[in-house]
C-alpha cells in the first residue's frame, strides 16, 4: 500500500501544480485583456476629442485668413496634421516594441517547473 499512497500523493501534487499554473496563466490573460480594453477606450476618447479640437481650430484659422491667405493657411494646417499623425505613428510603434510579453510570469514559472521536474544525471 505504500507505493500506491506515494503515487497518489505525487499525482495530487502534480495536479495542484498544474492547477496553480493554469490559474496563473488565466490571471495573466485577464490582466492583459483588462489593460488592452482600458487603453483602447481611453485612446478612442482622446482620438475623438483631439480630432474635434483640431478640426474646429483649423476651421477657425481658415476663416480668420479667408480674405488674405486661405490657401496658405489650409496647406500649413494640412502639413501640421500630417506631421502630428507621423509622430503619433512613431510613438505607437515604439510603445508596441517596448511592450512586455503577455505571459512572462507564467512562462517563467513553467520554466522553473521544468527545471525542477527534469531528471538529474
List, for residues 79-115, the tens digit of each pLDDT value. 888 888 888 888 888 877 877 666 676 677 777 777 7
pTM above 0.95, yes or no: no
d(CA 112, CA 115): 5
Structural domain boundaries enclosing 50: 20-116
Task: Name the percent of the chain lying above pLDDT 70.
Answer: 88
Query: Residue 7 domain-assigned?
Result: no
Query: Residue 24 domain-assigned?
Result: yes
Burial of 62 (0-12, 13-18, 19+ CB in 10 A): middle
Query: Residue 6 domain-assigned?
Result: no
Query: Residue 11 domain-assigned?
Result: no
Render pLDDT for 57-85 as a digit per residue (tens, 0 to 9).
Answer: 888 988 888 889 888 888 888 888 888 88
Query: Residue 2 domain-assigned?
Result: no
70 contact partners, CB below 8 Å, separation of at least 6: 62
Provide the number of structural domains found in the chain.
1
Give residue 121's pLDDT: 66
Query: Residue 4 domain-assigned?
Result: no
Radius of gyration, alpha carbons of the chain = 28
Query: Residue 5 domain-assigned?
Result: no
Element (DSSP H or E) covering residue 4:
helix 2-64
Amino acid at each position: 500500500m505504500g507505493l500506491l499512497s506515494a503515487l497518489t500523493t505525487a499525482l495530487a501534487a502534480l495536479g495542484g501544480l498544474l492547477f496553480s499554473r493554469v490559474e496563473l496563466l488565466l490571471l495573466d490573460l485577464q490582466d492583459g485583456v483588462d489593460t488592452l480594453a482600458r487603453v483602447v477606450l481611453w485612446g478612442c476618447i482622446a482620438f475623438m476629442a483631439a480630432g474635434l479640437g483640431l478640426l474646429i481650430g483649423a476651421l477657425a484659422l481658415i476663416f480668420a485668413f479667408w480674405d488674405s491667405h486661405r490657401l496658405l493657411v489650409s496647406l500649413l494646417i494640412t502639413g501640421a496634421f500630417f506631421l502630428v499623425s507621423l509622430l503619433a505613428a512613431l510613438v505607437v510603434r515604439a510603445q508596441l516594441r517596448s511592450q512586455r510579453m503577455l505571459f512572462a510570469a507564467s512562462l517563467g514559472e513553467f520554466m522553473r517547473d521544468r527545471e525542477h521536474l527534469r531528471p538529474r544525471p
